[in-house]
Amino acid sequence: MNFKVVEKFVSINGEGTLAGQLAVFIRFAGCNLNCSYCDTTWANEKDVCYELNTAEDIYNYIKSTGVRNVTLTGGEPLLQKGIIDLLKLLSKHKEIHVEIETNGSVLLDEFLAIENPHSFTMDYKLPSSNMESKMLLDNFKYLTKKDTVKFVSGSIEDLEKAKYIIDTYKLTERTNVYISPVFGQISLDSIVEFMKCNNMNGVNMQIQLHKIIWNPNKRGV
């Protein structure tokens, strides 16, 4: 099985529980959503340049870097045909830690039976994304403390919806929870003030480190 890969590179994790640590990034082509704030729309274009990699190609590249953290991203990696075969192959190599970034619209249940399971970082798309109707709320029940839910917020309305979802599904008791700003759309201090006013214990605010270190539009970082 061949996978459509648009980028492979080593950088630091820009966000999440492993923020600041080295990671190998494998970016796949294609997505089923069209978020208003997407910063990788180029990877979803029909005419995007990609290379066809087998699961073995991808593992061999990861191994060649000597880096143990691996992030599968996109696009939406779980839409790749045969992705479960890649995940099974990577799960055999316990020296690496695989994080799968997923957009919340793909049901996770079929990926849970893999031995040495990977961690998911799952978005919940808030109102400003224009994609909230695509969210599969059943996915919350599959998440554990090794996983993460990320709320990308561009407005106070977004923050209010994030709080409602966090409280309704008791997400801080189940998994790691992060709130990120839509870059350039909401002030960082307004997020902090909202968290303070609402006693959002157990919720982490984060910024994307790679957009601070490099130009926000730079690829391969």
List the binding residues.
12-14, 27, 31, 35, 37-40, 73, 75
Q: Residue positions in the annotated binding site for substrate? A: 12-14, 27, 73
> Distance (Å, rounded) from C-alpha 194 to C-alpha 210?
25
> Distance (Å, rounded) from C-alpha 89 to C-alpha 30?
22
Q: Residue positions in the annotated binding site for [4Fe-4S] cluster? A: 31, 35, 38
CA distances from 200 to 13, 114, 151, 163 (A): 24, 33, 13, 8
Cross-strand pairs, 52:
4
> Distance (Å, rounded) from C-alpha 124 to C-alpha 203?
14
Q: Residue positions in the annotated binding site for S-adenosyl-L-methionine? A: 37-39, 75
Q: Residue positions in the annotated binding site for Mg(2+)? A: 40
Cβ pair 9, 67 in contact under 8 A: no
Pick from 132, 127, 134, 206: nearest CA to 159: 127
> Distance (Å, rounded) from C-alpha 170 to C-alpha 186?
25
C-alpha atoms less than 13 angstroms from C-alpha of 143 in its C-beta half-sphere: 29
CA distances from 208 to 137, 145, 184, 203 (A): 25, 21, 12, 16
| CB burial of residue 90 (10 Å; 0-12, 13-18, 19+) | buried
